[in-house]
Amino acid sequence: MLQVSQSGATAIRAMQWVTWADQDYLCARTLLRTGSLVQGASLSNTAIERYLKAIHVIRGLGVPHIHDVVRLYESLKSSGIPPLSESYLRTLVKAYKMRYPDDLEVGFNIALNQPQMLAELDSSTNAIRKGFGFGKADGGAVKTKFDLLREKNAVQLMERNSAFSEHKRAELFVNPVRCYEIRVTPHGSIFDAEYEAYVKDDGNFEREALSPGPS
């Protein structure tokens, strides 16, 4: 990531965005760990959104009034940002739409599984967050709540975390896991299903959900 330093009000504002993002990240991974995939995916979007907006502040680009993490990521590519899975980001955008089920368009569908969403949230957060560093004017370090949780190996951060702990990502995919799928039919009906299954960590977040069979 391109190194940029800020001070004063800009630095304080950036730290606020990072703090808000940290809170959302911790809550999102708790939801995902406990199997609340729809809520966890939606809050994952908010966490990544706020981390990306913190970079906008640090870069002096202003904060776009949008929730679309794909557009936020695209707007930062030319100014330096760690590579993220765009398939994952597109899935977060779709997941965020599920806050308003009545507004989902015909054909909308999404397939979520627990370990893939958790592992990618952790790795994306790690990729972005390790680029932030906060310090005092005298050179002393500023520790956030996130930093303290990491030092204490807090369960809410470290449990099953393949990015910030020694937990292996592959271990998340050994056993059957919670899955969720939803589709809006041509008649506007909403079908969804929750089940457990073995899944692969293949980097594909955009599988067709509840694919209609032959008519």
Following DSSP, what letter does each residue of the chain receive, concatenated? Answer: -------HHHHHHHHHHHHHHHHHHHHHHHHHHTT-HHHHHHHHHHHHHHHHHHHHHHHT----S---HHHHHHHHGGG------HHHHHHHHHHHHTTSGGGPPTT-EEEEEHHHHHHHHHHHHHHHHTT---B-TTS-B---HHHHHHHTT-HHHHTT-TTTSS--GGGGGSS-EEEEEEEE-TTS-EEEEEEEE-----S---PPSS-----
Residue 87 in domain: yes
Q: Which domain holds residue 21?
A: 8-104+114-172
Chain segment 156-172, per-residue pLDDT in tens? 999 999 999 999 999 99
pLDDT at 7: 59
pLDDT along the chain (215 residues), means of 10: 60 91 98 97 98 92 92 89 95 96 95 98 96 78 90 96 96 97 95 96 95 65
Amino acid at 86: E
37-59 helix and 86-97 helix, angle to the nearest 10 degrees = 120
pLDDT at 9: 81
> Domain holding 77: CATH number?
1.20.120.330
Q: Which residues of 71-109 are buried (b: 16+ CB within 10 A; e: fewer)?
A: ebbebbeeeebeebbeebbebbebbbbbeeeeebeeebb
Residue 196 in domain: no
pLDDT at 131: 85
pLDDT at 2: 44
Residue 167 in domain: yes
Q: Give the chain's domain count.
A: 1
pLDDT at 178: 97
Q: Look up residue 26 and give its two tokens.
A: 């911790």
Residue 199 in domain: no
Residue 109 in domain: no
Residue 26 in domain: yes
pLDDT at 134: 79
